Structure 1
Amino acid sequence: MGKKIVSGLVAGLLGAGLYAAYQKLDENKKNQLKRNLREKTDEVRDRAVDYAFYANDAVSDFKDVIKDELNNAKGTVKDASSQFTEKATTSKSQRGADDLNESAPQQDDIVVDAREAFKSTDSTDSVNQSTTSPDSSTNADPSGTTSNDDPSLDPTTPDHDHSQDK
């Protein structure tokens, strides 16, 4: 608080000294001093107005940049959303097709007839297995061929030596 009092007294003495010096000046010097003071205040005012315009332009530019970035972000989000939706619908349709395929009866199942699996065979003979599908019960005919067109399902073709299994 003591510093405030001292600084107030110094400011008062300085102001009183400046006023006394001003009163001692002649009229030409007083007018010139007034003109110089007006010019300086006009310059400061012009600079303040210029800086206000600069600030206004900067804020306007900033708003434009933000608006452009938001529009870009919205476009990116829309693109990503449409791609996601497209992938989701594609995946859903593929999943639906897979579900339909899984619900359809499988034609490649191998069913072993219990009578033929347990019939006694010589150690030199291979086990004669018949293959059937769940829909049709095709057994091997006496010639040893099946009604299936796939030669890999032919029971007479030795895929595996069953004599070593015993």
Structure 2
Amino acid sequence: MGKKLVGGLFAGLLGAGLYAAYQKLDEDKKNRMKKNLREKSDELRDRAVDYAFYANDAMNDFKDVIKDEMNNAKDNVKDASSKFSEKAKSFDDTDTPQSDQPTKQQDDIVVDATEAFKNSGIPDAADDLNNGVDEQPKSDRPKASDAANPDEDGSQK
């Protein structure tokens, strides 16, 4: 708060001093000073108006450039869209049979596991049953329960 008070007092004293100096001038010098002040303020006002017009012109130019770029972007998107739709139509035309062209007969693909693994070399369940360990008929093979119970003479069946 002390700085504001000191600054206010300084501005007041400066203003009072300038006013006292102005009052001590003769009328001819006062008129010249007023004239110079008006000329400077008129020049400053003209510059401000010129800069406002420059800024307005620059903003209008910027808007025009943006509008042109947006129109170019729209045209590019429309061109790309039309090219894509033409390619899509030509793609559909080649895939769809025409009425004047004969239609191709296409076979369905059917995958059967027996056909697929026929020559693969992988044994199937029927091969395991046919290729027994000792090639004995089932009736001659010893049972697992017989191996645990030996005969009276101590031999295995």
Assess same fold via TM > 0.5. Answer: yes
Cα distance between partner residues in 2 of 1:58 and 1:23 = 47
Q: TM-score, normalised by structure 1?
A: 0.59
Aligned to 2:105: 104
Change (3 A) 1:95 1:24: same
Q: Which residue of 2 aligns with 1:32?
A: 32
2:60 maps to 1:60 = yes
Distance in 2 between the 1:67 and 1:43 partners? 36
Matching residue of 1:12:
12
Say how many residue pairs are matched.
105
Larger Rg: 2
Counterpart residue identity of residue 74, structure 2: K
Change (3 A) 1:15 1:87: same
Q: CA RMSD in A?
A: 2.1
The letter for the 2-side match of 1:104 is Q
Q: Which amino acid aligns with 2:82?
A: S
Query: For residues 62 and 3 of structure 1, what CA distance do their matches in structure 2 show?
Result: 46
Corresponding residue number in structure 1 for 2:76:
76
State the SS of the aligned residue for 2:96: helix
Deviations 1:83-120 (A, max 9, x none): 011111111222224xx9886157xxxxxxxxxxxxxx
Distance 1:62 1:105, change over 3 A: closer
CA distance in 2, matches of 1:21, 1:14: 11
Secondary structure of 1:104's match?
Answer: coil
SS at match of 1:94: helix
Cα distance change, pair 29–95 in 1 and its aligned pair in 2 (3 A): same
Give the unaligned 5+ runs of structure 2: 108-157
Separation in 2 of the partners of 1:81 and 1:21? 79
- Per the alignment, residue 2 of structure 1 pairs with 2
Higher relative contact order (CA 8 A, sep 6+): 1
Instruction: Provide the C-alpha distance between the structure 1 equivalents of 2:106 and 2:66, rounded to a whole number of angstroms.
Output: 59
The alignment-based identity, stated in percent, is 69
Could you list the runs of 4 or more consecutive aligned residues of structure 1 that deviate by over 4 angstroms after TM superposition?
100-103
User: How far did residue 6 of structure 1 move?
Assistant: 1.4
